[in-house]
Structure 1
């Protein structure tokens, strides 16, 4: 079921100039974003079902670099970004039984299937850009099973991870060791039917029992009372599994010539009910954002 919650701030300020002098009704400029949000909720729900309802929804990259590259190994950064990584020796298989546990900050635990060090390496390669013409592949000399902290849609979690050692460097690489079948990964649409409009939120904060959701994003440096400034409101489009936040911008004036300078801004939206275990998605591509739960 999908529910729409309107913000306390009216969107009337955005409607000036819409419509015509005739009897044509005014067009709500948010309608396109609401449809975009509905599509994002549908894709997210499908991704959760494809993963068997798995609650593990990581945010961002699943590979970490531990340590800084030595001056002589400056090109290794490009190799890692491209996914140009090879095993120089036999890597460990998944432990038996191949089960690990994800632990959230509130103590919630969830058992997940694990992948081998080779399997995690294959995922690391696939996540690379592949654009590394002439660069030297990184050589892995070993791996051990450990843990790493991962941002998720339910706050930070400690997840099983493979930690790799490298030939010729003290830097180590870590990659989440959870089998891909237990990870909810949302892909954004790339076709022309999805214009990726709107302001993308970057993070969200809420409380355990509260229904207010505060989101951060990059916006105008100053308030609407100043030239090139803006104030912000928000609207939430909700489903049983996720919430998409639409940021509404109220600019100082239309068609101002403003410098390309942004600042971190925030706004708060009231949900129809506490967020619970639902994910928070940004509206431009429908991707989950990092969540902080206070109290």
Structure 2
């Protein structure tokens, strides 16, 4: 089994986690020998790959529609002012216009190879509600929606880029619309293998980015405040890419606080992800895409 390790590349700014509910994140107690920990982790990686490759879960994953990028796209050229940017981050919208009251029951997802899938659609009002969380304090910046129409947008998915139906919201002061995917993602398949127990390292916190060529992925990994920072092992098979998060060096004994740090780790692959499933060795489940603003519709 050929497993490669990638070191962390950049700090995931502004994030710190309490160790409550995560176990001994700082790992200040006694540690197993590094070689023993590596062996245990590699065995787990192999078991996850073996469980998924050729499984019913892998078939269900491949047949489904699972977004792997943000399903909301800003108007072409982006938001023009800091006030508009803050309103978007705060989910602060106001509706001054009418939204379509009827929606087709289903829409078609179309991938680059010509394959398609029919999925149910959300209505314009439901899609708007996903953008806006309601009333805001007087004087707070807001984005004004003046209408919407059903169109299309391109998103990254578990099977590569796809064109999907989307609600195109007209914004006051903008020529181009804000797009929100109208397609309801497929239900996640049940994993053929349970979560790991007594395996060194921590579950990944999510997928941040996949390059256009799909030769690298950036994930969020957890480490303690006293260890050497996160490292991510990768094991590639024909049907899966298994990632396992650990730490470069065990925590040093001493005055360690039980806190964790989330950091971005970029993992380079031997070949593009393609339609292979990206798996977390610790959970035994697909690595969830983590949008910058809000939960992924596939995993929420």
Does the Cα contact within 8 Å between 1:204 and 1:216 map onto a contact in 2?
yes
Partner in structure 2 of residue 64 of structure 1 = 73
Equivalent residue in structure 1 for 2:37, among 28, 33, 36: 28
Partner in structure 1 of residue 224 of structure 2 = none
- C-alpha deviation, 1:197, in angstroms: 6.1
- C-alpha deviation, 1:176, in angstroms: 0.2
Partner in structure 2 of residue 136 of structure 1 = 141
More contact order relative to length (CA 8 Å, sep ≥ 6): 2
> 2:61, 2:217 → 1: CA distance?
31
- C-alpha deviation, 1:203, in angstroms: 3.1
Partner in structure 2 of residue 75 of structure 1 = 83
Closer, same or farther in 2 for the Cα pair 1:204/1:236, shift >3 Å? Answer: farther
Partner in structure 2 of residue 111 of structure 1 = 118
Q: Equivalent residue of 1:77, what SS?
A: helix
Closer, same or farther in 2 for the Cα pair 1:177/1:199, shift >3 Å? Answer: closer
Q: Equivalent residue of 1:174, what SS?
A: strand
How high is the TM-score relative to the length of structure 1?
0.55
Q: For this pair of structures, how many residues does the alignment match?
A: 229
Closer, same or farther in 2 for the Cα pair 1:30/1:217, shift >3 Å? Answer: farther
Q: Does 1:84 align with 2:79?
A: no
Closer, same or farther in 2 for the Cα pair 1:19/1:100, shift >3 Å? Answer: closer
Partner in structure 1 of residue 244 of structure 2 = 246
- C-alpha deviation, 1:60, in angstroms: 2.5
Structure 1 or 2, whichever has the larger Rg, is 1
Q: Equivalent residue of 1:156, what SS?
A: strand
- C-alpha deviation, 1:9, in angstroms: 6.6
Does the Cα contact within 8 Å between 2:108 and 2:164 map onto a contact in 1?
yes
RMSD: 5.3
Alpha-carbon displacement from aligned partner over 1:71-115 (angstroms, at most 9, x marks no partner): 5x431111112211232222013434x221000001001111111
> 2:44, 2:69 → 1: CA distance?
25
Does the Cα contact within 8 Å between 1:199 and 1:283 map onto a contact in 2?
no
- C-alpha deviation, 1:27, in angstroms: 1.9
> 1:48, 1:93 → 2: CA distance?
37
Closer, same or farther in 2 for the Cα pair 1:232/1:174, shift >3 Å? Answer: closer
> 1:147, 1:115 → 2: CA distance?
14
Closer, same or farther in 2 for the Cα pair 1:284/1:149, shift >3 Å? Answer: farther
How high is the TM-score relative to the length of structure 2?
0.54
> 2:84, 2:106 → 1: CA distance?
32
Equivalent residue in structure 1 for 2:159, among 148, 154, 160: 154
